Structure 1
């Protein structure tokens, strides 16, 4: 856990102070991730599990259930193909690739979305599916969003990444984390778990964000989602400030007393 906290603090130097404080708070509540068991692409490492003779073998791939709606992505080739969670899902037939210029009728997670994902989007996903724009935040200016159209563009609310590349960073979610978060918030929790469990670190995403995800899933619309996000950030900042005020540092006078 100390190693994970140190890594989070190091990676947050370029983030805002509020996001850094919240990420540090969440890291204290998190369990150790399984990054040490992940392959180069962050995928689950193969391992044998011992079971009794009468017990059916079970592993992480048995948890949850596959989606009964389309799951797709536009891949802009901005990231390392060996570490991209979206490409791993596509290789295994769990996510379809969309062409530039191809319109997607379902919900699309994109940086140019105007509304936040909410439980109101469940019917859209159920009938037409989810897609994600896999691009780098550092290259948004060169991303052809006009060639990736959907009637339902959406943004995700505040969440913390658990993938090995951006562990502990606010809002730096991988493709599978973004897809799973959308599923969870809109009522497809088993499907979200099924996708996350294709990665050895997937369970850590739910651990880090359980409180937020459950709160978001209990909202009625985007407005309530944003209110929950705002209150959570304020609460985290207040708790961080109170914890710092309660630290009892020794004074120079007490040091002198001890010496005497």
Structure 2
């Protein structure tokens, strides 16, 4: 795993990969990078922690990245069909504050494979329980998991004391995304899940408040 950054510059210019079938439990080496807009608390930024650990390569704002880029300006949703692109050219994430997304010049980044993440819930201490508001490491791990690099995803999450909670909250949904063949199917799975959650919440709201049974009333009076 420590070879990720060491091989970054060498792998960045690769045009293709002739890999054999890779197991979900096998660690795979590919470039991992980040554009940092310096909008987050450096003491709490998971991306900067990964950079200090040499597990992610900081990019300059105008520096082009040829792999998959996780960005709010993505063209489509990440899916298993992106596996070969990541294996050949790597994956990058945009590190910016969710509160400042609209004023961040994300569109100026040089990307060919911009990707969105499907519905997932954050487990990081700042945004715990909030949908979509993932930290850098959560976003990277989610993408790795969905395309089939599950061992890599766990490796990155394990660098944080709360990292396991991300899989505790999302593993069932991540497994469903990982079974999809393309971006369109991932979106369908996401929408079906959200519809089921909405229907479940509506059903609970519509349930009548039944009065206590006779036995419960008797117990309360003793």
1:194 to 148, 151, 155: 155
Deviation at 1:112, TM superposition (A): 0.6
Deviation at 1:81, TM superposition (A): 0.2
1:101 to 62, 70, 73: 62
**Corresponding residue for residue 127 of structure 1:** 88
**Corresponding residue for residue 56 of structure 1:** none
Q: Secondary structure at the match of 2:64?
A: coil
Task: Provide the rounded CA distance (Å) in 2 between the counterparts of 1:80 and 1:155.
Answer: 24
Task: Give the structure, 1 or 2, with the largest relative contact order (CA under 8 Å, sep 6 or more).
Answer: 1
1:162 to 104, 113, 123: 123
Task: Provide the rounded CA distance (Å) in 1 between the counterparts of 2:127 and 2:99.
Answer: 14
**Corresponding residue for residue 207 of structure 1:** 168
Deviation at 1:247, TM superposition (A): 5.3
Task: Provide the rounded CA distance (Å) in 2 between the counterparts of 1:86 and 1:218.
Answer: 28
Query: Structure 1: any 5+ residue segments left out of the alignment?
Result: 1-63
**Corresponding residue for residue 16 of structure 1:** none
Task: Provide the rounded CA distance (Å) in 1 between the counterparts of 2:142 and 2:205.
Answer: 32
Q: TM (normalized to structure 2)?
A: 0.81
Task: Tell me if 1:242 matches 2:203.
Answer: yes
Task: Provide the rounded CA distance (Å) in 2 between the counterparts of 1:131 and 1:68.
Answer: 14
Deviation at 1:243, TM superposition (A): 2.9
Task: Provide the rounded CA distance (Å) in 2 between the counterparts of 1:139 and 1:67.
Answer: 34
Task: Provide the rounded CA distance (Å) in 1 between the counterparts of 2:56 and 2:210.
Answer: 54
Q: Deviations over 1:12-48 (max 9, x none)?
A: xxxxxxxxxxxxxxxxxxxxxxxxxxxxxxxxxxxxx
Aligned pairs, number: 192
Q: Secondary structure at the match of 2:119?
A: coil
Q: Deviations over 1:54-79 (max 9, x none)?
A: xxxxxxxxxx7654000010000011
Task: Tell me if 1:87 matches 2:48.
Answer: yes
Q: Give the superposed CA RMSD.
A: 2.0
Structure 1 residues 242, 146: closer, same or farther in 2, change over 3 A?
A: closer
**Corresponding residue for residue 75 of structure 1:** 36
Query: Structure 2: any 5+ residue segments left out of the alignment?
Result: 1-24
Task: Provide the rounded CA distance (Å) in 2 between the counterparts of 1:148 and 1:66.
Answer: 29
**Corresponding residue for residue 141 of structure 2:** 180
Task: Provide the rounded CA distance (Å) in 2 between the counterparts of 1:91 and 1:71.
Answer: 13
Task: Provide the rounded CA distance (Å) in 1 between the counterparts of 2:114 and 2:183.
Answer: 13
Structure 1 residues 65, 84: closer, same or farther in 2, change over 3 A?
A: farther
Moved more, 145-154 or 90-99: 145-154
**Corresponding residue for residue 12 of structure 2:** none
Deviation at 1:240, TM superposition (A): 2.0
Q: Deviations over 1:99-139 (max 9, x none)?
A: 01100000000111110000000000000000000012222
Task: Tell me if 1:225 matches 2:186.
Answer: yes
Task: Provide the rounded CA distance (Å) in 2 between the counterparts of 1:86 and 1:95.
Answer: 7
